[in-house]
Amino acid sequence: MNTLFEEAKKYIPGGVNSPVRAFKAVGGEPVFMEKGKGSKIYDINGREYIDYVLSWGPLILGHAHPQIVGKIKKVLDKGTSFGSPTPGETELAKLIVRAVPGIEKIRLVNSGTEATMSAIRLARGYTGRDKIVKFEGCYHGHADYLLVKAGSGATTLGFPDSGGVPRDFTQNTILVPYNDICAVHKVIKEHHPEIAAVIIEPVAGNMGVVLPEDDFLQKLREITAEYGILLIFDEVITGFRLSYGGAQKYFDIIPDLTCLGKIIGGGFPVGAYGGRKEIMDYLSPLGPVYQAGTLSGNPIAVWAGICTLKLLSQPGVYEKLEEKTKNLVGSLQENARKLGVNIYINQIGSMFTLFFSPHRVYDYQSAKKSDEKKFAQYFQGMLRKGVYLPCSQYETNFLSLVHTQEDIEKTLKANYESLRALK
Ligand code: KE4
């Protein structure tokens, strides 16, 4: 019995401040962590794990990067928040504008949820239209109208997928299957005068990693532009993960609005949304679309973000990350082949998911064919061997710049033994 967990559950619903952390999908009780250093994370008993969660994506430079810690210690001495403009906010905004092709202006917020919620309000304000289109299996944070599940049929008006979301809050949300450009065409043909935006994870990370097929993003860009519908790339995960300009640079597809989070905060709470000037200037105090935040752009998170982006802008960073990840994934596939275990891996850049499925995974329905029980057994096996994976089949594994060859070899050994134990 984990007394810390029992104690936490007395005061915090489910003992966690974000549901996925409760280990519901993998059984057992969550591990309470106390510190991180580089590619490692340590639980309260000092046990070391190789970390592939990296705080669900932000820690591309690893835990407690000395240059970030050093910078933040200095910034802290000057105070933590002023509720006024500060030079650092302009510095971070400039770095992002220069890096991300689709962003001419940007607004900092405090989470990915705030970023997507605000981008959608802005799209509605700019177009004067109410409906949005999202893709099944994509997660964009917990704004009411985004917590929707599909009804019957391929393209449907969303139904609430959470308690507390009134039915009519989801009336303007249309769901289509990921990678299904025909379904998108159908919806747009039918509803285009009312559709403000299409929002998508350009590489999905919340049904496990699911890649956009061939020219799916290109066709999505073309049809939304044709009907004056704003294309919103939710790059909370892929922003500065897939490349220094995110997925839009990696695939050379430019959205109208981009949502960011995770990496740009360097481990502190930051989100952001940005896009073309004429859209962004609809925001208060210039325009009619309101959005605000007490701690938006606070100096601690901003300087952690600046430090992170400067380190990521060094030449060769993303090539190194992708090569290291490809090597790991190739060996994971080899282990499974040798053992005759059915797995399907999607990988891009330094993100990957090992699906316990013999089938190709290209959308939510195919991802859901995975054997969740097998995944849970595998997760627990890896945990016992000192490898800390995301505690759900439908999440993304991340590598950092500081995962070593020794980490990779230890991971492969643990993987082989954990897969063998499933047979
Ligand atoms: P936050 O509000 O959790 O900062 O961001 C929401 C969000 C928006 N868009 C994408 C593509 C995201 O992945 C997220 C949050 N990601 C999840 C895990 N994949 C965060 C982990 C959690 O919910 O605890």
Distance, CA of 171 to CA of 160 (rounded, Å) = 9
**Separation of 420 CA from ligand 1 center, angstroms?**
32
Ligand 1 atom nearest 262 alpha carbon = 4
Handedness of CA 109, 112, 113, 119 (dihedral sign): positive
Ligand 1 atom with the shortest distance to the CA of 138 = 11
Q: Which residues are catalytic?
A: 139, 234, 262
Domain ranges in the chain?
1-34, 66-312, 327-388
Give the span between the Cα atoms of 235 and 204, in whole angstroms: 9
pLDDT tens by residue, 171-192: 999 999 999 999 999 999 999 9
Ligand 1 atom nearest 395 alpha carbon = 19
User: Is it the case that residue 46 has pLDDT exceeding 80?
Assistant: yes
Q: What is the pLDDT of residues 260-287, one digit of tens each?
A: 999 999 999 999 999 999 999 999 999 9
Task: Name the residue of 53, 59, 140 whose CB sits within 8 Å of the most ligand 1 atoms, as the mutation to test its pocket.
Answer: 140
Ligand 1 centroid–CA 112 distance in Å is 6
Say how many Å lie between the CA of residue 399 and the centre of ligand 1. 17
In whole angstroms, what is the distance from residue 245 CA to residue 247 CA?
7
Which runs of E-coded beta strand occur in 256-325?
Answer: 257-260, 271-275
Residues framing ligand 1 (Cβ under 6 A): 18, 20, 56, 111-113, 116, 139-141, 201, 205-206, 234, 236-237, 261, 271, 395
The label of the residue with tokens 């690893």 reads 62
Q: What confidence category does residue 58 fall into, taking pLDDT thresholds of 50, 70 and 90?
A: very high
- Average pLDDT on 82-106 reads 98
Per-residue exposure over 302-326, b if at least 16 CB sit within 10 Å of its own CB, e if not? bbbbbbbbebbeeeebbeebbebbe
Question: For residue 155, what pLDDT is reported?
Answer: 67
Average per-residue pLDDT in the chain?
A: 97
423 CA distance to ligand 1 middle (Å): 34
> What's the token pair of residue 247?
């997925």
The angle subtended at Cα 158 by Cα 154 and Cα 164, nearest 5°, is 155
> Hey, whose CA ends up nearest to atom 5 of ligand 1?
112
Ligand 1 atom index nearest CA of 20: 24
Domain 327-388: give its CATH architecture.
Alpha-Beta Complex (3.90)
Give the model's pLDDT for residue 1: 66
Whether residue 255 has a cis bond before it, omega within 30° of 0: no
Residues 6+ apart with CB under 8 A from 402: 38, 39, 61, 62, 65
Kindly tell me if the per-residue pLDDT of 152 is higher than 80: no
C-alpha distances (whole Å) from 165 to each of 133, 147, 236 are 18, 8, 23
Probe residue for ligand 1, chosen from 24, 55, 56 as the CB with the greatest number of ligand atoms within 8 Å:
56
Residues 308-352: tens digit of each pLDDT: 999 999 999 999 999 999 999 999 999 999 999 999 999 999 999
Instruction: Summarize the confidence of residues 220-229 as an average pLDDT.
Output: 98
pLDDT of residue 2: 74
Q: How far apart are CA 314 and CA 61, in angstroms?
A: 12
Q: Which residues contact 357 (CB under 8 A, 6 or more apart)?
A: 342, 343, 344, 366, 367, 369, 370, 371
Provide the pLDDT for residue 157.
80
pLDDT at 153 over 70: no
Judged against a pLDDT cut of 90, whether residue 158 lies above it is answered with no
Q: What class does CATH assign to 66-312?
A: alpha beta
Residue 357: strand, helix, or coil:
coil
Closest CA to 242 of 187, 324, 318: 318
- Position 154 confidence tier, pLDDT thresholds 50, 70, 90: low
